Copies of this chain bind each other. A is one copy, B any other.
Amino acid sequence: MAVIVPFEGPSTASIDQLVELVAADMERVNATILSRTGSDVTMIPEVANHLISSGGKRLRPMLTLAMANLTGYTGDGHIKLAAAVEFMHTATLLHDDVVDESEMRRGKKSARMLWGNEASVLVGDFLLGQAFRMMVEVGSLRALDILSSASATIAEGEVMQLAAAKNTATTEDEYLAVIRGKTAELFAAACEVGPAIANRPKPEQSACRSFGMNIGIAFQLIDDVLDYGGKAAKLGKNVGDDFREGKITLPVVLAFRRGNDAEREFWIKSLERGEISDADLDQAIKLMTKHRALDDTIQRAHHYGAMAVDALALFPSSPMKTALEQVVAFCLARSH
């Protein structure tokens, strides 16, 4: 029987309050994003805007703005840093599409299907370069340190995932190391730069970083669950992409460990050897249900969500703090 640990957060699971509180700043971030994708080389804004304007929630830059606000920052640097964070994210998506040979992204054809792998790689590099230029303009060496380290760590996490690809023997710990790098690190850095440019003491910087790291892990785990059903279609995702690409995610790790020999043979055949028939996705979901692999992945996500909320404990109550707690609940609620 599935045991779901109740999430002790706010009753509202929504990003609405966050969106409202950062709306004015976010307008400036969006203007910055638009102007910084500009280039005389027309292919650059075309490719960049295809993805940037495709309806992502811009959660990461919103978190940068939120953390700067939460920690009392009064300058202008958070605008460019938030835009830089979104550019880093977009660059990662463009490169990921090439790595995964994805055909779709956010319910639209991926940039590589429309302009080719070449454009995806190079426009990603351009956005990364622009991101660093904006960080340099802000002039905070601490923020530069946080974001450049994140940049290397994200790539390291992706290579780790590549090396672990199709390996059903991956442990939960190894998988966590992958998603800490490839997903959670950017959330962590996006949050940490807020108190960093506000020159807040180390404990506040660490608290914001911890919030970002843990919400990032929770976010990715719920994403992993969505790939095997749930509200995936509504979110513009294709159910079964991870399965067909042989991606080892936590639901697989759990189902594999808890399965018998015949079941393990199924996972090895489908994920390692890529021998997949039409009925196999259903079989995969059946095995995950049998072993509560999806429910327990959601439960693990709640654990990290709780850590994220606790990380904010040292900040006094405020509308922004409540908004951030609601975002955690929102990330978790995406699964049902």
Contact = CB atoms under 8 A, between A and B. Distances in A.
Nearest to A150: B129
A132 B189 CA distance: 15
Interface in A91-115: 95, 98-99
A41 to B, nearest CB: 5
Contact of A136 (B41, B141, B154): B141
Interface string A110-154: 000000011101110110111011011101010011001111111
A285 interface: no
A-side binding surface: helix, strand, loop or mixed?
helix
A162 B118 contact: yes
Contacts of A150: 129
A41 B122 contact: no
A155 B136 contact: no
Contact of A99 (B39, B122, B144, B154): B122
Contacts of A99: 117-118, 121-122
A129 B119 CA distance: 20
A43 interface: yes
A20 interface: no
A310 interface: no
A44 interface: yes
A156 B39 contact: yes
Contacts of A13: none
Interface residues of A, number: 42
Interface in A235-269: none
Nearest to A153: B129
A3 interface: no
A159 B129 contact: no
Nearest to A92: B125
Interface in A149-186: 149-156, 158-160, 162-163
A151 B132 contact: yes
Contacts of A144: 132, 136, 144
Contacts of A156: 39, 41, 44, 126
Contact of A159 (B126, B133, B158): B126
B155 A133 contact: no
Contacts of A117: 98-99, 117
Given A98-B98, A136-B145, A41 B163 contact: yes
A74 interface: no
Contact of A130 (B133, B152, B160): B152
Contacts of A133: 145, 148-149, 151-152
A35 interface: no
A117 B39 CA distance: 27
A98 B125 contact: no
A152 B37 CA distance: 11
A9 B117 CA distance: 43
Interface of A: 39, 41-44, 95, 98-99, 117-119, 121-123, 125-126, 128-130, 132-133, 135-137, 139, 141, 144-145, 148-156, 158-160, 162-163
9 contacts: A39-B159, A98-B98, A99-B121, A122-B158, A126-B156, A128-B155, A133-B145, A137-B145, A144-B144
